[in-house]
Amino acid sequence: MPKYKDIDSVLVIGSGPIQIGQAAEFDYSGSQACKSLREEGVKTILVNSNPATIQTDLEIADKIYLEPLTPKIVAKIIERENPDALLPTMGGQTALNVATKLSEMGALKDIKVIGSSIETIQRVEDREMFANFMKKIGEPVPKYRAVNSVEEAFEAVEEIGFPVIVRPAYTLGGTGGGVAKNKKELEEVVSHGLKMSLVNQVLIDQSVIGWKEFEYEVMRDRKGTCITVCNMENVDPMGIHTGESIVVAPAQTLSDEDNQKLRSAALKIIDALGIEGGCNIQFALNPETGDYLVIEVNPRVSRSSALASKATGYPIAKIAAKIAIGLTLDEIQNDITKETPASFEPTLDYVVTKIPRWPFDKFREIDRRIGVQMKSTGEVMAIGRTIEESFHKAIRSLDIGKEGFYDTNVTEEDLKYPTDKRLFKIYSALKKGWSIEKIHKLTKIDKFFLYKILNIVKFEKKLTKKSIKDPKILRKAKRMGFSDKKLAEICNVSERYIRKLRRKYGIRPAYKIVDTCAAEFEAKTPYYYSTYDDVDEVEVSDKNKVLIIGSGPIRIGQGIEFDYCCVHAALALKNEGFETIMVNNNPETVSTDYDVSDKLYFEPLTAEDVLEIIEKEKPDGVIVQFGGQSSINLAEDLEKEGVKILGTPYESIDKVEDRERFTKVLKKLGIPHPPYGIARSFKEAKKIAKKIGYPVLVRPSYVLGGRAMEIVYNDKELKEYIEEAVKVSPRHPILIDKFLEDAIEVDVDALSDGEDVFIAGIMEHIEEAGVHSGDSACVIPPQTLSKETIETIEEYTRKLALELKVVGLINIQYAVKNENGKPKVYVLEANPRASRTVPFVSKAIGISLAKIAAMLMVGKKLSDFNLKNRKLKHVAVKESVFPFVKLPGADVRLGPEMKSTGETMGIDKNFGLAYYKSQLGADMKIPTSGNILISVKDSDKGKIKDIVKKAEKLGFNIIATKGTAEAIKDVVKNVKVINKVSEKSPNIKDALLNGEIDLVINTPHGKRSMDDGYIMRRMAVDLGIPYITTLAGARAALNAIEAVKQGKINVKSLNEYHKEPDPAVT
């Protein structure tokens, strides 16, 4: 059947910034959808607010709008573009919510909603409608009651009984959900859930905690042809969100009878809903009776769809987009085989394991227990021939410093209330001799998986210095997925010794193709995984080739920005005639799409795994510059093995990471840096702090990305830091830097070919120095820096790039501080690699920096690209997005340790409008009128007069705590004084709960404690009230409010902002 004749143009809604519950999987699906639609001659318009996405590249769609994903803004785009259809199923929950609101506004008149209709979205998102619809088609659901108040929730449990699961409607990643075992817990969870729901509704569900959970990815076309792409089994039982669960594919413990039962139900549901495209259906299965319940239906591509796509090689989003415009499964070709149609169901002859990655290293104070609300930021996927091999590969892909299972303290409580460490707790319990029966009773994890972990425990007991010399034992160990490093640790030998033994016995990995059909048809797409088998399926070419090391799982400090750079490198070098080879293990990302590079290896990013691929493929060089710290960390091992690192030499990378060597470079070039010292004891630290003067910035010397970094103001705080945060020792010294208070931070991204330097973007941070660069909002072009300061920054950047022999990208962070009435520029740090700001700068200036950097690495020169600094007629603001709402107990105060998960971009004709858009994109809806609550630390009280003056001028009512009110009484006519949380009622807590506050401005001081400020900030997060924690942020917000009040918000495509062609795109 041909495509629908009435669809010539489609508006695709993206998912916005990366956040917990909605990560890079939607960049992958949206990019695939846009390409798929354009293949069919459909004009494609995309709207998304996230600059760090491939889908917002100008080549992906005919028109790109980098605008906030709010119904009003998207309605303006619809008015401008007049599309025939809207595709909301590629942008996660965000896109579905926007589509629903657009329909309610009447903005979709004469526009066809494709993939899933508004009626279908409402049927599955409105919990009551969903349950009624399932009953109508004869599919069982848990006992439920949809409620709109706490009182109704109490009535519901009278009928359902405790425990219950609370599930808010129209939210992502289980936001606001929870388990309630009594009335007190019910009141807490329901109150929070109602605030989080788009429609102020939660479902009180019968608890099926402990049942098994299975997911089915299903497809349907307009003819009613339905297929299952993949079934997946959650290793964790019901009660843990599927995004938090360890997942295996295909399902391992389902009987054929149960599989057919669930498969039939899944196909019946997608058919009854009339979905044209992809759909994810989650089931709970009672292991005792075989009864099942339908838990959830996602009428869109999802996190699980991305996993299923990568697990099978079946491109769900691409095919779903074609189905949405009317094509049918039997006429769409399977890209992998080029022979079979998309109506063939994939078959797997291997085991896939997904393990989530959690941010508890960044939020050490919060509860690590996992449950019905997501806390993980990303995930890894591993492919093996056995569960044991797949588990081992997945663990070492996590990049948590562990090569496999490890021993840890374990109690019954640990197994009953799981955390991110549950796999290792189970392993430790088995090692201690706990019975399978006991562990099963505590965890409700199927005994099948427990026996698989027990196999590993038993096999480890056979491993000794002597036994490992037996080639049969060594081969079996490798087939079970043990790394050389792990075997070395167990056998008390060196990793090099194990590697030599393997080579002596010819024990090397074989690489298998992911072909969708268990080798029934020949695969035309080279997508590989390793296993210790006899038959290797890789054909090695003699072409010029480059291997690109990816960035692994998304985590705080290393997000989608690095995957973006890897994809750009692969596309640019492919275009230059190189065979590109990608190595990565993240199923959510575009880099692991089978058609981005010439070859894809889905493997852990360890020295052993990467070196084996290098020895197999023998590339001309390896790129480590784009994969963030993960790939940079491999540079030393690769260099030692004689691997050619393309671009900036390893020596330069080491020069900037070693503080003492970097200081020598700066001294040689005459570039100022803040005074610092390295301490190996508290006594030394105290001496250094006294010499350079408080406040100081302290951090361990052995970590990057701001982990465990703090600003301390006196000896007492320094002592606390050393005793609580880090164990300082001669082997683990701490760095102590002079903290440049009240300085402006500046980020610079530049390109160099070793002879010339192109300064691409100078970004002025909006927050003051002391906030991690990844968490601070920033603006291009700079708004307050003088011409002389900019020229100094440019001069230092050129000097550093050339001295460090940079070939490719470099990012340098500066601080500009007024000293004796003159600005002085200090270098804080330099990173001779891609930074997280590369996508933002690229979108702001219209030049694909990572593509050019990749081409410089293979010999091109900057002069080949005719680069020149473009005079921008617009302003671009990057704002960070934080996970606080998903992490109960986390403090929202910003500091030198990074906390953000993603970013959004606002672009407009002036700073105020661009900043306002960036806040809308980050879901921080700044009010334009109402009540502002201000409470600042003592050191800020003399600096807020201009802020309150402007707020009052803009028509806001000022409410302040006693000390703050006293500081501003001479500039503000009417200040309402309010009691702190710890003072008598009525106080701040009451005002927040009663909806009397529209914006909170609170600047915290020192370490987080359960003080008034913390409770106020936490309540603002939980109640969805906009909050600001820096004075610079407050000034920027007021400028934005002023700009919005003076002129209306307009939309403009990125194509219109960048009319000059991108020199990186030929």
> DSSP labels for 930-968?
SEEEEEE-GGGGGG-HHHHHHHHHTTPEEEE-HHHHHHH
Mean pLDDT of 149-158: 87
Angular region, 574: left φ>0, alpha ψ -120 to 50, beta rest? alpha
Mean pLDDT of 981-988: 90
- From the list 830, 844, 628, the residue with the least C-alpha distance to 746 is 830
pLDDT higher for 985 or 860?
A: 860
CB 897 within 8 A of CB 361: no
296: annotated binding-site residue? Answer: yes
- From the list 404, 575, 582, the residue with the least C-alpha distance to 483 is 404
Mean pLDDT of 795-812: 98
Mean pLDDT of the chain: 92
1046: annotated binding-site residue? Answer: no
- From the list 185, 223, 227, the residue with the least C-alpha distance to 204 is 185
208: annotated binding-site residue? Answer: yes
For tokens 């710290």, name the residue.
Answer: 629
Tens digit of pLDDT for each residue in 425-483? 999 999 999 999 999 999 999 999 999 999 999 999 999 999 999 999 999 999 999 99
Lowest mean pLDDT among 125-129, 136-140, 288-292, 566-570: 125-129
392: annotated binding-site residue? Answer: no
Predicted local confidence at residue 266, as pLDDT: 97
Mean pLDDT of 44-70: 97
> Cα separations (Å) of 523 from 334, 335, 349, 738?
10, 9, 14, 58
16: annotated binding-site residue? Answer: no
Predicted local confidence at residue 691, as pLDDT: 94
In three state form, how does the secondary structure of 348-374 look?
Answer: CCCEEEEEEECCCCCCCCCCCECCCCC
The residue ranges of every structural domain in the chain are 9-122, 143-207, 675-738, 744-884, 888-896+905-1046
**Highest mean pLDDT (candidates 332-336, 681-685, 727-731):** 681-685
Predicted local confidence at residue 337, as pLDDT: 64
CB atoms within 10 A of CB 199: 18
Which residues are within 8 A (CB) of 733 and not within 5 positions of it... i.e. 6 or more apart? Answer: 678, 679, 680, 701
765: annotated binding-site residue? Answer: no
List beta partners, residue 677: 736
1059: annotated binding-site residue? Answer: no
Q: Does domain 675-738 have CATH number 3.30.1490.20?
A: yes
SS3 content of the chain, % helix, strand, coil (to 5): 35, 20, 40
- From the list 183, 138, 278, the residue with the least C-alpha distance to 221 is 278
pLDDT higher for 190 or 195?
A: 190
Which two tokens mark 118? 């508004």
Predicted local confidence at residue 1012, as pLDDT: 78
Distance, CA of 1056 to CA of 20 (rounded, Å): 32
Predicted local confidence at residue 1, as pLDDT: 59
213: annotated binding-site residue? Answer: yes
Predicted local confidence at residue 727, as pLDDT: 65
Please, which pLDDT band fits residue 521 given cuts at 50, 70 and 90?
low
* Helix or strand (DSSP H, E) at 335: none
Predicted local confidence at residue 821, as pLDDT: 87
222: annotated binding-site residue? Answer: no
771: annotated binding-site residue? Answer: yes
699: annotated binding-site residue? Answer: yes
Predicted local confidence at residue 546, as pLDDT: 98
Question: What's the predicted TM-score (pTM) here?
Answer: 0.94
Please, which pLDDT band fits residue 157 given cuts at 50, 70 and 90?
confident
Which two tokens mark 246? 């360890």
Predicted local confidence at residue 1006, as pLDDT: 59
1005: annotated binding-site residue? Answer: no
931: annotated binding-site residue? Answer: no
Predicted local confidence at residue 470, as pLDDT: 97
791-818: buried (b, 16+ CB within 10 Å) or exposed (e) per residue? ebbbebbbbbbebbbbbbbbbbbbbbbe
461-485: buried (b, 16+ CB within 10 Å) or exposed (e) per residue? eebeeeebeeeebbeebbbbbbbbb
127: annotated binding-site residue? Answer: yes
Please, which pLDDT band fits residue 406 given cuts at 50, 70 and 90?
very high
For tokens 């006429």, name the residue.
Answer: 331
> Phi and psi at residue 40, in whole multiples of 5°?
-95, 10
Predicted local confidence at residue 671, as pLDDT: 97
Check for a shared fold between 143-207 and 744-884. no
Lowest mean pLDDT among 21-25, 779-783, 976-980: 21-25
> Cα separations (Å) of 325 from 31, 84, 322, 496, 792?
16, 11, 5, 56, 54
Distance, CA of 145 to CA of 259 (rounded, Å): 29
Domain 888-896+905-1046: assigned CATH number: 3.40.50.1380
Please, which pLDDT band fits residue 1065 given cuts at 50, 70 and 90?
confident
294: annotated binding-site residue? Answer: no
- Tell me, what DSSP letter sits at residue 467? G
Q: Rg (Cα) of the chain, in Å, rounded?
A: 28
Please say if the pLDDT value at position 340 is more than 80.
no
In three state form, how does the secondary structure of 107-176 look?
Answer: CCCCCEECCCCHHHHHHHHCHHHHHHHHHHCCCCCCCEEEECCHHHHHHHHHHHCCCEEEEECCCCCCCC
138: annotated binding-site residue? Answer: no
Predicted local confidence at residue 702, as pLDDT: 53
CB 398 within 8 A of CB 413: no
Please say if the pLDDT value at position 338 is more than 80.
no
Please say if the pLDDT value at position 994 is more than 80.
yes
DSSP characters over 422-441: HHHHHHHHHHTT--HHHHHH
List beta partners, residue 676: 737
Which two tokens mark 975? 């200040």
241: annotated binding-site residue? Answer: yes
282: annotated binding-site residue? Answer: yes
Mean pLDDT of 834-862: 97
Which two tokens mark 109? 């008149």
pLDDT higher for 726 or 909?
A: 909
Distance, CA of 320 to CA of 304 (rounded, Å): 14
Domain 143-207 fold: Dna Ligase; domain 1 (3.30.1490)
Q: Is 845 exposed, middle or buried (0-12, 13-18, 19+ CB in 10 A)?
A: buried
167: annotated binding-site residue? Answer: yes
- From the list 868, 873, 917, the residue with the least C-alpha distance to 1040 is 917
- From the list 588, 583, 577, the residue with the least C-alpha distance to 553 is 588
Q: Is 400 exposed, middle or buried (0-12, 13-18, 19+ CB in 10 A)?
A: middle
Predicted local confidence at residue 198, as pLDDT: 67
CB atoms within 10 A of CB 559: 27
CATH number among 3.40.50.300, 3.40.50.720, 3.40.50.1110, 3.40.50.20, domain 9-122: 3.40.50.20
> According to DSSP H, which parts of 759-903 are helical?
787-803, 838-845, 849-857
Please say if the pLDDT value at position 569 is more than 90.
yes
CB 551 within 8 A of CB 627: yes
Q: Is 869 exposed, middle or buried (0-12, 13-18, 19+ CB in 10 A)?
A: middle
Predicted local confidence at residue 336, as pLDDT: 66
Which two tokens mark 517? 């059909």
CB 1040 within 8 A of CB 779: no
732: annotated binding-site residue? Answer: no
- Tell me, what DSSP letter sits at residue 401? S
Domain 744-884: assigned CATH number: 3.30.470.20
- From the list 672, 530, 535, the residue with the least C-alpha distance to 614 is 530
Distance, CA of 95 to CA of 101 (rounded, Å): 10
CB 650 within 8 A of CB 639: yes
Lowest mean pLDDT among 517-521, 541-545, 685-689, 902-906: 517-521
Mean pLDDT of 258-267: 97
Please, which pLDDT band fits residue 1008 given cuts at 50, 70 and 90?
very low
Which residues are within 8 A (CB) of 741 and not within 5 positions of it... i.e. 6 or more apart? Answer: 695, 769, 770
Tens digit of pLDDT for each residue in 693-741? 999 999 886 555 456 788 888 999 898 888 766 666 666 788 899 999 8
745: annotated binding-site residue? Answer: yes
Percent of the chain having pLDDT more than 70?
96
* CA 88 centroid distance within chain: 21
868: annotated binding-site residue? Answer: no
Distance, CA of 122 to CA of 100 (rounded, Å): 8
